[in-house]
Amino acid sequence: MADQRSVTRPAGPAGGGPATDQDTPEPADRHGRDADAGIAHPAGQQEPAGAEPGGWTLSAGGTAAGGGASTPGPDRATLRLALVVGGLVLAVLLGFGLGRANGRPTDRTAATAATAAGDHTHAPGTGAHQHDGTGGDSSGDAATGLSVSSGGYTLVPSGGEFVAGRAGELRFQIRDTQRRPVTRFAVVHDKPMHLVVVRRDLTGFQHLHPTMAADGTWSIPLTLPQPGVWRAYTDFTAVADDGQQTPATLGVDLVAPGEYAPRPLPVPASRAAVDGFTVDYEGTPQVGAAVPLRFTVRDPAGRPAALERYLGAYGHLVALREGDLGYLHVHPGPGPATDTVTFWLTAPGPGSYRMYLDFQVAGVVRTAEFTLTVR
């Protein structure tokens, strides 16, 4: 853009002539800023406002002699050259300032990779963590699995008719906010989908892993051994088109018609027995606080059991709250294969819970069950 400022010689000839309105200098901004040029002068500068070396005054309207005396000015060619050079310097300074104001360019590739890696991708033996939707906030009840929709994803079952004691099939899709079937899932502890099924009186626990078809439909053979209402939980981490990973636990009821006689919850105990193995745990879960629970497994001869990796870890722990069936799924930190495995658990709220510990010895997976009370 051309410089709109004009420069005129001092008013009148050498003997002095009447000055015109165009020769009167305009006042400078009181804060040391040329009102039209937008250039700030250093704070504390003592040079008179609008003064230029040699007694020349620059303004948007014109140039007049300073000090009330007529002073011969430079020729017109010199002035033009000075203005051209000054304009170039000004353009460079403004460009440099705008560049600094905009800051450094963002490395979008690095930012995207950091987001994808930091959300919810786990390698086998990953450190202890909990799938309970707390997001690091322990101020409220963060139990999951209470709804078919959460975090922009919805569990959509198909069929779902079961006969107690007979083999059936469970089929479902996970859909996004646009009702599209999700087909990309992160592999978390060796599987992209963990399915937990339990009757509403917290009996009949099953931990399964369905398979997905190309259209995003998951399926698995399923037997509900007793009549009643059962709860199915899908525990997964969806991967969006932009690579964003969202962990979620969604729940839906399944029905096996027949006479339903709910069983009372067993009394709280820190010891359980399964297939001759004895499992004990130490620790007292608390609401809103991460507390270690240490499980020790002994074989039928009373010796320390040689725990094996199962789905990338030495144990899996699920806890369900009586009443609303609020869901927790925690994993232990990495460690050597011993008879002891430790979980860090944060209870989402008070109540009675049923805990289910999956562990593997000699290639066989077993489940030890415990009742505990969180106050």
Residue 337: per-residue pLDDT:
67
Residue 84: per-residue pLDDT:
54
Residue 159: per-residue pLDDT:
74
**pTM given for the model:** 0.64
pLDDT in tens, 268-325: 999 999 999 999 999 998 888 889 999 999 999 999 999 999 988 899 999 999 999 9
Cα atoms in the Cβ-side hemisphere of radius 13 Å centred on 241? 5
Q: What is the mean pLDDT of residues 125-152?
A: 58
DSSP 68: T
Percent of the chain with pLDDT over 70: 60
Asked if residues 190 and 312 have their Cβ atoms less than 8 Å apart, the reply is yes
Phi and psi of 297, rounded to 5°? -115, 130
pLDDT in tens, 86-114: 665 455 444 444 334 343 333 333 333 32
Burial class of residue 123 in the structure, from the number of CB atoms within 10 Å of its CB (0-12 exposed, 13-18 middle, 19+ buried): exposed
Asked if residues 323 and 374 have their Cβ atoms less than 8 Å apart, the reply is no
Q: Tokens representing 193?
A: 């989908």
128 CA to centre of own chain? 18
